[in-house]
Structure 1
Amino acid sequence: MSIRKRAWKTSKGEAKTAWIVDYVDGKGVRRLKTFAKKKDADAFASKADVEVREGVHVADRDTVTVEAAGKMWISGSEAAGLERSTVEAYRQRLDLHVSPFIGKEKLSKITVPAVRAFADQLRSEGRSPAMVKKAVTALGAILSDAQERGLVVRNAVKEMSRRRNGSEKRAKRLLQPGVDIPTPAEIRAFLAALDGKWRPILLTAVFSGLRSSELRGLRWQDVDFQKATLEVRQRSDKWGTIGSTKSHAGQRTVPVPPVVVNTLREWKLQCPLGELVFPNGLGNPESHSNIVNRGLIPAMEKAGLTIDTGKLDDEGNPILEARYSGLHALRHFFASWLINPKEAGGLGLDMKTVQARMGHSSIVVTADVYSHLFPRGDDSKELANAADALFLINAT
């Protein structure tokens, strides 16, 4: 590994200098890399020397662009058998949010400042905070895949995440009743507004906490009317393809109250023939968008669970929209109902049981999302006594 200065004159007689790092990579190939400043050459030489000795160095000529690595990442995801919806989401993030902004850059040029600049550019182009986070996460996954292929040494996204992880957790807003989670009073109004073909699935969602995909994949053989339980064994993706649950923990047995059992008994007599509990008119899985747009939102509006959009219609009247416009709000309510103490109308269950009913992959997920909803004991008296005892001990 050597560093030398090169001096020359241009055709116009202008003096130029550059610094060249001359080294042999881990494959025994001689490499030359040129820098305008000696400090940059020194920094590269130090880093490259360590990487070569550790057998992880990748020369710029041997790496690829972010876009090319992204295509390898997509191909690898398909080969690994990931769900169609997951691969499609990956492809959209690559094509719409990664490649147009940073796709032509070589992987070796993706540093922490480059990732920060990428995120800033996404924001300046009008991407939402959620989409910026997804795009940066996708870039990190591309770099991880490229590392496994020996195309890059560093994953700048992971380096940045380690630095910012604590602050992001502190900034994350907790779910709030009446904002993210329907209150018991709101659910009562919502249930009273349910009618027609959408009543069975939405009522079941409220009292079982099943995900949209799990509801759409539920079969009649999974409904035990005698034991009043639902067996979650499969799910339907947005294309109507039936597959396994989101995780192994997603396969679970969920007890349901009599109102759900009776409603499903009645619904079975009139629903389209087939094995699915909530099919469309052709007997296939009902689409998520239909459930939301034709069932959930109209019921929310009928129940008066709306918010002012701040806009006016042609007659000057305020335009309202549903306060809760996603099925996941009903899942959040179910979790809060499991957690709330019995005197408050809930079941008062412990966190491990809540995790099992929700089908979370680990209790950490349950704690991260819902721990603030669990009741806290009043230990003020014990705290005062313990403090007094401490003072007595010090006094002696």
Structure 2
Amino acid sequence: MADSATITIEEAGKLWLKSGDAAGLERTSMDQRRQHLELHIKPFGGTVKLTKVTAPWVRSFQDKLRDNGRSPAMIKRVTVSLGSILADAQGRGLVVRNAVHELSKARSGTKVSEKRAKAKLRIGVDIPTNEETRKILEAATGRYRPLIITMIFTGIRSSEARGLRWDDVDLKKGQLHVRQRADRYGKVGMPKSEAGQRTVPLPPIVVNTLKEWKLGCPASELELVFPNQAGNIEFHNNMLHRGLWETQIAAGLSVTTDKKDEDGNPILAPKYSGFHALRHWYASWCINRKVDGGLELTAKAVQARMGHSSIQVTFDTYGHLFPSTDEAAEMEAAEKALFAVNAT
């Protein structure tokens, strides 16, 4: 295809955004598309014709992103968006080849090593310890206490907590049904995957907390379990800053920052920055042995409770937390069994 018969990456990107709107993508997904296009793709390749986008050009584009301070994770995400732009252009007949996909296939042999290089979640760094979790529970007070207790003992995502309705909570049976979520803009929708629709059993502490909370919960037309004081969908930042962060600092789980208050004292920040830490703790609690205070669930059961789309996601994220078997003892037992059979 001649250069004059095609368009630039910027023009293709605008068509890509239109495709996303037409497909009804969530607002958060569209925001990410626009950010990738405006902040990363246009400045370093917006004027390039689609016919000039080859595998070597993509590598050069990635180098430019790296040289201009983009992190490896951001470069990877932006490259995926670039590939999506090219795929959309292919569907419109504006380009024949998708250099990003070709490059991805050529590098498929490195996927294993990339996975190995990914840091594992660490107890006390990414996942609160049991002692830290107890401190959070003891320090949780006020209107965010029911939210924090529920998230600790169910592992639900913050979006799922914002969209949770009283109809989704069966306090008699001790069950919580995840049927919808509310994004950061307050738009209610289905969980992102079919596996996200799930039922999670509630321990007594959650049942009793929610029974008490239901009596004082702000009235909500949407019948939300954790609405804001006006009865509407709670803002994520309020849940985070006034709920989780303040509770951690009150519990003594904080780190000092370079910033200082008016009196010159260092400003404290929470040790764990987001609700994903509580979700990680719940997963570890499900995995840990009963003798260590856990539930000792199977990997399949953990997958179901976490709402993972596949068992592979569970293993990729939490596989290293599952108790390792005593291979020496197992081999000795197998050897004895083998010779016992031969002896008969």
TM-score by length of 2: 0.91
Q: 1 CA distance for matches of 2:334 and 2:299?
A: 28
Match for residue 59 of structure 1? 2
Q: 2 CA distance for matches of 1:159 and 1:375?
A: 40
CA shift at 1:133, angstroms? 2.0
Q: 1 CA distance for matches of 2:155 and 2:317?
A: 14
One-letter amino acid of the structure 2 residue matched with residue 241 of structure 1: K
Match for residue 341 of structure 2? none
One-letter amino acid of the structure 1 residue matched with residue 143 of structure 2: K
CA shift at 1:294, angstroms? 1.0
CA shift at 1:120, angstroms? 2.1
CA shift at 1:382, angstroms? 4.2
Q: 2 CA distance for matches of 1:170 and 1:276?
A: 41
- Aligned with residue 61 of structure 2, among 97, 100, 118: 118
Q: 1 CA distance for matches of 2:186 and 2:29?
A: 14
Higher relative contact order (CA 8 A, sep 6+): 2
Match for residue 151 of structure 1? 94
- Aligned with residue 239 of structure 2, among 268, 291, 302: 291
Distance 1:160 1:169, change over 3 A: farther
| 1:359 and 2:307 matched | yes
Aligned length: 332
Match for residue 161 of structure 2? 215
CA shift at 1:144, angstroms? 1.8
Mapping of 1:324-343 within 5 angstroms?
A: 324-343=272-291
One-letter amino acid of the structure 2 residue matched with residue 240 of structure 1: G
Q: 2 CA distance for matches of 1:234 and 1:202?
A: 19
| 1:79 and 2:27 matched | no
| 1:266 and 2:209 matched | no
Moved more, 245-254 or 318-327: 318-327
Structure having the larger proportion of residues in helix = 2
Mapping of 1:187-198 within 5 angstroms?
A: 187-198=133-144
Moved more, 333-342 or 130-139: 130-139
CA shift at 1:129, angstroms? 3.0
Q: 2 CA distance for matches of 1:218 and 1:236?
A: 8
CA shift at 1:384, angstroms? 6.7
CA shift at 1:320, angstroms? 3.5
Return 5+ residue gaps in structure 1 as ranges: 1-57, 389-396
Q: 2 CA distance for matches of 1:338 and 1:109?
A: 51
Moved more, 150-159 or 291-300: 150-159
CA shift at 1:251, angstroms? 0.8
TM-score by length of 1: 0.79
One-letter amino acid of the structure 2 residue matched with residue 357 of structure 1: R
Return 5+ residue gaps in structure 2 as ranges: 337-344
Residues 160-219 of structure 1: CA deviation (Å, up to 9, x unaligned): 333142332121111111111111111011111100011011111000111111000000
- Aligned with residue 327 of structure 2, among 379, 386, 390: 379
| 1:105 and 2:48 matched | yes
CA shift at 1:157, angstroms? 2.1
CA shift at 1:347, angstroms? 0.4
Structure having the larger proportion of residues in strand = 1
Q: 1 CA distance for matches of 2:173 and 2:286?
A: 19
CA shift at 1:66, angstroms? 0.9
Q: 1 CA distance for matches of 2:255 and 2:79?
A: 32
Q: 2 CA distance for matches of 1:178 and 1:318?
A: 23
Give the aligned CA root-mean-square deviation in angstroms.
2.2
